[in-house]
Amino acid sequence: MKILGHRGIPVLYKENTLQSLFAPFSFGADGIETDVRLTKDGVPVLIHDETLTNFCGTDVRVRDLTLAELREYKSDGETVPTLEEFLKFAPRNKCLNIEIKEYEAGELSVLICRKFYEGEIIFSSFNHHLINELKEKYNGLKFGYLFDEQHTSMSDEEIFALFDKNTYSAHLPVVGLLYFPERLLNIIKELKRREIKIVLWTVNDKNDIARISEYVDYIITDDVRIFL
């Protein structure tokens, strides 16, 4: 089981800043998960939310700012990093889970990651159409589908159909084990039978996965120290 820091280690530092993203490696983490959006001038940057409200208290959209303008906003001295600058300094041969938040950021993120990083990279998104397109075009790279409450109306057959070709992983919310444990466990078992990797997010208590740990390949956590 690989341990990935959720946006770094947000219990210690502002999420998705370079300080937060690099810190999990010092505790022995196998990798990190981070989020990619585009600035107004088309630069992939690492931030989860559409706006800077959570980052620095300013209600302005990332996509409405150029990179130069975005650099003017700081949180405790930290700016929103670009994908490229993180990749250039990230430890080699670790696992990076790159969550693509916007369709427009998809292919560019893949190209930049291939250029600047040597190590395991899993590209994931809640936008299943985007993942369908990328996995068709970039055969051999690792792609995964993210699921949350918006996908509960999908049938099991519709879910399994996503994994028929060139799909590496399923990214499932650990909270699902609380609300529909039997269904989620059955889905996990079938995906494992199909040799699909299981990624659980966001796991902050060992007890949450104690009974299914044998099926889990990656966990994403706010505090890697819990598991290391």
Would you please indicate which residues are annotated as catalytic (active-site) residues?
6, 48
In this prediction, residues 216-220 reach a mean pLDDT of 98
Report the pLDDT averaged over residues 106-131: 98
Q: What is the DSSP letter of 78?
A: B
Mean pLDDT of 133-158: 96
Residue 45: what pLDDT? 99
Cα four-point dihedral sign 130, 136, 137, 142: positive
**Would you state the pLDDT for residue 122?**
98
Q: Which two tokens stand for residue 222?
A: 């706010």
Domain limits, the chain: 2-7+9-226
pLDDT > 90: percent of the chain: 99
CATH superfamily to which 2-7+9-226 belongs? Phosphatidylinositol (PI) phosphodiesterase (3.20.20.190)
pLDDT at 49: 98
CB 189 within 8 A of CB 211: no
Q: Show the 3-state SS of 7-59.
A: CCCCCCCCCCCHHHHHHHHHCCCCEEEEEEEECCCCCEEECCCCEEHHHHCEE
Mean pLDDT of 63-74: 98
The mean pLDDT value of the chain amounts to 97
Q: Quick: pLDDT tens for 16-57.
A: 999 999 999 999 999 999 999 999 999 999 999 999 999 999
Distance (Å, whole) CA 5 – CA 15: 10
Confidence of residue 189 (pLDDT cuts 50, 70, 90): very high
> What pTM, to 2 d.p., does this model score?
0.97
| For range 199-218, the mean pLDDT | 96
